[in-house]
Every structure is written in structure tokens, then in C-alpha cells.
């Protein structure tokens, strides 16, 4: 049976669009999304008309992407297009500028379909905290898609977009990618400009691609990477052609399996499939060895101190003064209280309170400062490990997709969903999740590959080999 146009990978879509123009593909994707979005809730705003108006001329679609339709998470600013972080407090907020990644992709001929649903302000691992309602996992609509970039992952998995951008602060690209059976890459901190990404944890956040294949991920990384004079944390380092790393050759590659990531609590099916993936790489010529990252146990705790501290400060500006929601109040203080009380959801409030607490006088040393010190220890773990190995292979998530409402009232259980993804953000290294199998119930399982700073190429090399060998990306959810 011939592939539907909406099923095309980015690589295929670019080839078709180059030959025949992008319109047929765009039309197919629009129809597909119109059909599925009511069920999956992957998009908070599906406004291709907006971009049609913006880019009527077909020369806009030249570039590398030739008009291939993409979607972005609702926390990446698009000029003139409402951007809300799936929060009530930003309803009506229309950015007066484009995020750097939007500008770069636009210049490369991207056609933006709309903005994807997410956990409010990227606070969550299940896409249940969105002001627009929960997102459903296309493999089982009673289950969560993961989060916070769940909308982007679902849109890619369900062929509602050709590819998407997400953002990753503690696993927000990789965990939903794993739970939805797609490829998600969190680049090295500083590889991709954060300018225009509405900040959650500024020293953790990175924008990255969520795609159907490893190759698509490399294509997007070629376009969005690089130094940005508007982002002082972006790094001025040459961007290689990542597609060149897509050779099916892992001979001699040293891959470490940290023993702290294969412990009790991890779903047996997940462990089996991840170990199988390691074996596949071994058979292809990689060396597999067990390593240790001794401070792993502290990663979640450190993250929920430092990241929420930054978040509490980053979210201060949502005060009803300039943009978004403003609740009436008798005086300034009451306006602040009411706006923030009505505008923020439960999880956002929890993190703001926690963040303010760890930064407050008398607690800073005990929490924030100590958290940063432990962060340094975790970084040293990885520096040591990367003396022995080129890549680290782990499960992306300890479990496959869980049921909607299963963990929403137990924040600690929810936070542990990111136990394997958080360390890469603490350290700033690149990490990818790619599908490595399915559970008996048919839920996707993701394997995570981590590399040294700026060694995205190493990840692409191993991920491509693994993907081509197991070829499970061809399996689609029944919708």
C-alpha cells in the first residue's frame, strides 16, 4: 500500500515538496489533524491560515525545507500568533517577535501549522496540567502521552505534522517521545538558541526536534543549531552537518550502561527492550560496558530545587501588568494576587512556592546553594564516565505510558517519571530518546542515548544504526 502524504518523514516530505510543491502535503496534514485533534488534543492552536496569510508566495517555501509543514510547542514565540504555554495566565499574549528557531526555520522554508499542547509552562510529565485539557496518547487514548512536550510528540506520532519542535528542561522532549514512539533530541545546552522560548529553568531549557526518524532529527538540528547573538548562553561553535553522521557504523563505539539506571522500580518490559537495544548495538560492533554514575540518586532532588528556583523567578513577570490575564483588584496587590491565583494552575503554583522557598533568606544556603554543589558532583560523574565511554545508554522513562489521572494527584510519583532524563539537563549534555520496542499491550518503549557536550554526532551515529537495524519506526498507532 502506498504511503499517505501525511505519513511522510521530513526527508520524504522535502523530496516530494521539492518536486511537486508542498501544498498536497500541507492539505493532507491539515485534513488529518482536523480529523484527529478533537480526539487527541495535540494542538492548542491549529491555524495554518495564519501562516498561509504570512507566506503566500511560493518563494517563501524554497530553502531546505521547501514548505514542509512543522508544528511547535506552545512556549516558542511566533510573531503575531498567540503563545500561551498552555496557561490561562497567558491567554491573549501575542509575541511581538519571532523566536530565533522560528526565524531560522522560516528562512529555511518551513510552513508552520500551529502550536502544540503541553503541560502548563512545561511543568509536568503527562500533559495533564494544560489549561486546554489533557493530551491523549495515540497508542492508547486512556493513557498520557508524557510531557511536557506531549502535544508535539502526539502530533508527530499520529501524523498530524511532519515534524515538531519541543523544549526539554528535565526530559520534556525525550519522555513524551519515548511514550509516543517517536524520536526526541535534547541538544547540548547552548547548541540551540533559547531566544523566544518562554523560560522555565533557564540553565536547563533547550529547544529540540521531535521527529519520526533519526534522519529527520538531524535535518532539523542542522537548521536550528548555532550561536545566536541574542542568547548569551548559546555557544559559538561550528555546527557540523549532522546528516553526515548517519552512517550505519558503530564499530568501536564505546557505550556505557550505568548500573544506577537499571534498578528496582523500572518496568521489566522496559528493561528488557532497552537491554536488547544495547545488544543490537553490540552485534553491530559497539563495545558495551557497565559504568557507574554514583550521584544519580540525587538528580531528581537537585532538579526540583534548582529548576523551580529559576522557574519561580522566570514566572514573576506574569503579574497582570503588561500582557495576558489581568484579574480586577481593588489595588495593585489584590490585582497581583487575583491574577496569579486565577491564572496559574496547581502545579505551577506548587513550583512557584517551592522555588521561592528555596531562594528565600535563611534557606538559600541549605537548598539552592547545596543543590548547585550536588549538580557539580553529578557533572563530575559524567565527566568521569565519558573518559571510559563515548555514549551512555539508558531507558528514557522507567515505565511506558501510564493512565490519565494515575499520577496527577501524587506529584512525587510524577516527578520520578523523569528520573532518567533529568541528569542530562543538570549536566547540559545532549540526549536522545528513540523507539526500541513495544510492550505486550502495544505501548512504545524508548531508549536514551547521552553523549559528551556537543557530540550530537555520536548520538546520531548510534541512533541511526539502531533504528535502521530494528526498523520499528514503521509501526503506526491505529487511529
Partner 1 sequence: MNTKIQYEPVIGLEVHVQLSTKSKLFCACSTQFGEAPNQNTCPVCMGWPGSLPVLNEEALKLAVRVGLALHCQVSEKIKFDRKNYFYPDLPKAYQISQYDMPVNKLGWVEIEIQNGKEIQKKKIGITRAHLEEDAGKLLHEGVKDGSLVDYNRAGTPLLEIVSEPEIYSPKEAYEYLKTLKMILEYLEVSDCNMEEGSLRCDANISVRPVGEMKLGTKTEIKNMNSFRAVERALNYEIGRQMEMAAQGEKILQETRLWDETSGQTFSMRSKEEAHDYRYFPEPDLVPFRIAREMMDSIQKALPELPAARAKRFQDDYQLSAYDASVLTQEKALANYFEACVKEGSDPKTACNWILSEVLALLNAKCISVKDSPVQPKDLLGMLRLIEDKTISGKIAKEILPLMFETMKSAADIVQSRGLTQVNDAQLLEDLADKIVQANPVLVEDYRAGKKKALAFFVGQIMKETKGKANPQLVNEILVKKLGG
List residues binding partner 1 (CB under 8 A): 75-77, 83, 85, 90, 93, 95-97, 99, 194-199, 201-203, 229-233, 309-310, 312-313, 316-319, 321-323, 332, 336, 356, 359-361, 364, 368
- Closer of 171 and 324 to partner 1 (Cβ): 324
In angstroms, give the least distance from the CB of 297 to partner 1: 24
Q: Is 92 left (phi over 0), alpha (psi -120 to 50) or beta?
A: left
Does the annotation mark 172 as catalytic? yes
Pair 152, 180: CB distance under 8 Å: no
Cell 495515540 -> residue? 138
C-alpha cell at 230: 541574542
- Closer of 90 and 392 to partner 1 (Cβ): 90
Catalytic pick from 126, 167, 172, 193? 172
- Closer of 14 and 89 to partner 1 (Cβ): 89
Compute the CA torsion angle 334, 337, 341, 344 (nearest 10 deg): 130
In angstroms, give the least distance from the CB of 352 to partner 1: 11
Catalytic pick from 71, 126, 148, 417? 148
In angstroms, give the least distance from the CB of 249 to partner 1: 36
Strands of 206-211's sheet, edge to edge?
Answer: 43-46, 111-116, 69-73, 163-168, 206-211, 183-186, 431-438, 444-451, 391-395, 254-258, 287-291
Does the annotation mark 193 as catalytic? no
- Closer of 95 and 114 to partner 1 (Cβ): 95
- Closer of 332 and 366 to partner 1 (Cβ): 332
- Closer of 41 and 83 to partner 1 (Cβ): 83
How far apart are alpha carbons 161 and 467 in whole angstroms? Answer: 21
> What DSSP line would sit under 94-157, residue for residue?
--SS--HHHHHHHHTT-EEEEEE--SGGG--SSS-S-TT----BTTBTTB---SSTHHHHHHHH
In angstroms, give the least distance from the CB of 88 to partner 1: 14
Measured over the CA atoms of residue 143, residue 27, residue 11 and residue 163, the dihedral's sign is: negative
How far apart are alpha carbons 338 and 329 in whole angstroms? Answer: 7
Burial (CB count within 10 angstroms: exposed 0-12, middle 13-18, buried 19+), residue 287: middle
Type and span of the H or E element at 423: helix 422-427
Catalytic pick from 11, 66, 71, 73? 73
How far apart are alpha carbons 151 and 155 in whole angstroms? Answer: 6
| Residue from 242, 243, 240, 215 nearest 11 by CA | 215
Angle at 204 between CA 446 and CA 46, to 5 degrees: 65
Does the annotation mark 148 as catalytic? yes
Residue 127 phi/psi, 5-degree rounding, is 60, 30
What burial letters (b/e) apply to 135-147, b meaning 16+ CB within 10 Å? bbbbbbbebbbbb
- Closer of 262 and 364 to partner 1 (Cβ): 364
In angstroms, give the least distance from the CB of 295 to partner 1: 21
In angstroms, give the least distance from the CB of 158 to partner 1: 27
In angstroms, give the least distance from the CB of 361 to partner 1: 5
Measured over the CA atoms of residue 36, residue 4, residue 52 and residue 130, the dihedral's sign is: positive
- Closer of 61 and 195 to partner 1 (Cβ): 195
In angstroms, give the least distance from the CB of 211 to partner 1: 23
Q: Cis peptide before 255, with omega less than 30 degrees from 0? A: no
- Closer of 171 and 201 to partner 1 (Cβ): 201
How far apart are alpha carbons 322 and 437 in whole angstroms? Answer: 47
How far apart are alpha carbons 352 and 314 in whole angstroms? Answer: 9
In angstroms, give the least distance from the CB of 336 to partner 1: 6
Beta pairing class for 391-395 and 444-451 = antiparallel
| Residue from 228, 230, 225 nearest 243 by CA | 225
Report, as residue numbers or ranges, the catalytic residues: 73, 148, 172
Amino acid at each position: 500500500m502506498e504511503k499517505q502524504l501525511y505519513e511522510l518523514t521530513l526527508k520524504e516530505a522535502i523530496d516530494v515538496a521539492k518536486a511537486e510543491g508542498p501544498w498536497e502535503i500541507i492539505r493532507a496534514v491539515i485534513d488529518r489533524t482536523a480529523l484527529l485533534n478533537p480526539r487527541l488534543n495535540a494542538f492548542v492552536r491549529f491555524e495554518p491560515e495564519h501562516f498561509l496569510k504570512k507566506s503566500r508566495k511560493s518563494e517563501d517555501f524554497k530553502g531546505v525545507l521547501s514548505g514542509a509543514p512543522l508544528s511547535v510547542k506552545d512556549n516558542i514565540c511566533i510573531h503575531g500568533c498567540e503563545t500561551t504555554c498552555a496557561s490561562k495566565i497567558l491567554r491573549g499574549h501575542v509575541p511581538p517577535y519571532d523566536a530565533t528557531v522560528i526565524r531560522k526555520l522560516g528562512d529555511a522554508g518551513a510552513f508552520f501549522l500551529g502550536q502544540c499542547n503541553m503541560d502548563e509552562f512545561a511543568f509536568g510529565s503527562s500533559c495533564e496540567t494544560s489549561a486546554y485539557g489533557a493530551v491523549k496518547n495515540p497508542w492508547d487514548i486512556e493513557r498520557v502521552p508524557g510531557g511536557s512536550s506531549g502535544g508535539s510528540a502526539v502530533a508527530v506520532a499520529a501524523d498530524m505534522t511532519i515534524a515538531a519542535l519541543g523544549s526539554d528542561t528535565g526530559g520534556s522532549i525525550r519522555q513524551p517521545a519515548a511514550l509516543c514512539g517517536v524520536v526526541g533530541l535534547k541538544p547540548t545546552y547552548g547548541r540551540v538558541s533559547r531566544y523566544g522560548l518562554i523560560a522555565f529553568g533557564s540553565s536547563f531549557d533547550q529547544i529540540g526536534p521531535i521527529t519520526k526518524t533519526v534522519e529527520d532529527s538531524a535535518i532539523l538540528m542542522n537548521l536550528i543549531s548555532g550561536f545566536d547573538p541574542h542568547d548569551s548562553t548559546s555557544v559559538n561553535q561550528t555546527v557540523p552537518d549532522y546528516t553526515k553522521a548517519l552512517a550505519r557504523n558503530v564499530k568501536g563505539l564505546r557505550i556505557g550502561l550505568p548500573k544506577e539506571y537499571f534498578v528496582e522500580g523500572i518496568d521489566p518490559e522496559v528493561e528488557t527492550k532497552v537491554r536488547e537495544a544495547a545488544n543490537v548495538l553490540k552485534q553491530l560492533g559497539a563495545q558495551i560496558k557497565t559504568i557507574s554514575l554514583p550521584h544519580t540518586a540525587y538528580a531528581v532532588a537537585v532538579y526540583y530545587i534548582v529548576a523551580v528556583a529559576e522557574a519561580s523567578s522566570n514566572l514573576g513577570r506574569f503579574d497582570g501588568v503588561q500582557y495576558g490575564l489581568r484579574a480586577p483588584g481593588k489595588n495593585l496587590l489584590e490585582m497581583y494576587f487575583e491574577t496569579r491565583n486565577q491564572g496559574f494552575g496547581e502545579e505551577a503554583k506548587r513550583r512557584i512556592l517551592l522555588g521561592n522557598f528555596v531562594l528565600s533568606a535563611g534557606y538559600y544556603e541549605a537548598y539552592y546553594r547545596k543543590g548547585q554543589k550536588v549538580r557539580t558532583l553529578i557533572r563530575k560523574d559524567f565527566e568521569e564516565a565519558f573518559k571510559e565511554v563515548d555514549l551512555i545508554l539508558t531507558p528514557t522513562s522507567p515505565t511506558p505510558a501510564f493512565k490519565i489521572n494515575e499520577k496527577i494527584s501524587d506529584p512525587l510519583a510524577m516527578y520520578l517519571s523523569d528520573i532518567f532524563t533529568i541528569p542530562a539537563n543538570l549536566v547540559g549534555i545532549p540526549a536522545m530518546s528513540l523507539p526500541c520496542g513495544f510492550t505486550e499491550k502495544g505501548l512504545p518503549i524508548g531508549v536514551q542515548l547521552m553523549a559528551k557536550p556537543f557530540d550530537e554526532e555520536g548520538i546520531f551515529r548510534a541512533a541511526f544504526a539502531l533504528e535502521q537495524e530494528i526498523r520499528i519506526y514503521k509501526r503506526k498507532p491505529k487511529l
